[in-house]
Amino acid sequence: MHTYLETAAAETSMWVYFLSACAAGVALLYALWSWLIPAAVQYNAWGALLWHDVIVERALDLLTRSTRPKRLLRAVQKNATRGDPLSVISAIDHFCRHSEWAMNVGDEKGSILDSVVSELNPNTSLELGTYCGYSTVRIARLLPPGARLITLEFNPDYAAVARQVISWAGVQDKVELVEGPSGDLIPQMKERFGVETFDFVFLDHWKDRYLPDTNLLEECGLLRKGAVLLADNVICPGTPEYLAYIRNSPRYESRYFQSHLEYTKVEDGLEKSVFLG
């Protein structure tokens, strides 16, 4: 009887130890996932992009059988007021800061984007890279009556989400979202879309397309004198060829706005370039 009790006590202790170890492991993993790794990559460019845009996104896609754009859309539908663009922007910013990072221009650089659009007050605008429609909503809400924003998105899944976000914000009457590669669509702007020139162009798509698409806009005569190009992520991930061109070309007067990669402390910025003709 004594041996049996000792054996039972030993087995109980072993199970308690095992469960305690499991609980400690789960707690450690949760701390690493939620706080330690995100804090560690806040100031590291490639660490932040690898963690947020590869590891976390793929893990959550697998666990939820969904996608980040769809999860972002649900956050908008749950927390934003329909027809209120500011509440849509706020809902996305909150989602990106407290739930999942996403590659929007973000709130910090978004305020720079707002100031450029408000100062220019453009009638015709072009956005290269819609993603989920965050910057589209930021731009469209500031446009004057009768103004037009054409936004190009290569990924049809992103475009499907962006249409719903734009509609939820109530700015769909000012926005024309077109799916397809920018290199094919830019030469069609005059004939297919009836655009003579753009007053404002926001570049926020594939970074290796910044320079070729800028050259296309020039060749197609789509930039009026005084038109403004505003390029995001010129430091992180970076667009060295575009910056070298735009800063050294006599056709542009360029200025850099220092900021941070969306929702992190990693240095990034926007390049504002005025087309001189």
Residue 118 annotated as binding site: no
Q: CB under 8 Å to 133, separation ≥6 — which residues?
A: 151, 161, 162, 163, 165, 166, 169, 177
Residue 248 annotated as binding site: no
Residue 233 annotated as binding site: yes
Provide φ and ψ at 264, rounded to 5°.
Answer: -140, -175
8 Å CB contact between 122 and 224: no
Nearest CA-CA partner of 118 in 200, 61, 36 = 200
Q: For strand 267-275 and strand 252-260, is the pairing parallel, antiparallel, or unpaired?
A: antiparallel
Quote the tokens at residue 79: 């927390």
8 Å CB contact between 217 and 152: no
Which residue out of 199, 207, 213, 268 is catalytically annotated?
A: 207
Instruction: To the nearest 10°, report the CA torsion of 205, 208, 214, 220.
Output: -90
Residue 218 annotated as binding site: no
Between CA 205 and CA 215 the distance in angstroms is 15
Nearest CA-CA partner of 70 in 174, 164, 198, 139 = 164
Residue 174 annotated as binding site: no
Which residue out of 107, 262, 268, 271 is catalytically annotated?
A: 262
Residue 184 annotated as binding site: no
- Paired with 186 in beta bridges are none
Which residue out of 204, 213, 268, 271 is catalytically annotated?
A: 204
Active site residue 232: yes
Residue 123 annotated as binding site: no
Active site residue 208: no
Residue 11 annotated as binding site: no
Active site residue 233: yes
8 Å CB contact between 129 and 206: yes
Which residue out of 109, 127, 233, 272 is catalytically annotated?
A: 233
Got the DSSP string for 190-247?
Answer: HHHH--S-EEEEEE-S-GGGHHHHHHHHHHTT-EEEEEEEEES-IIIII-HHHHHHHH
What amino acid positions are annotated as catalytic residues?
Answer: 204, 207, 232-233, 262
**Binding site per annotation, positions for S-adenosyl-L-methionine:** 105, 135, 153, 204
**Binding site per annotation, positions for Mg(2+):** 204, 232-233
**Binding site per annotation, positions for substrate:** 207, 233, 262
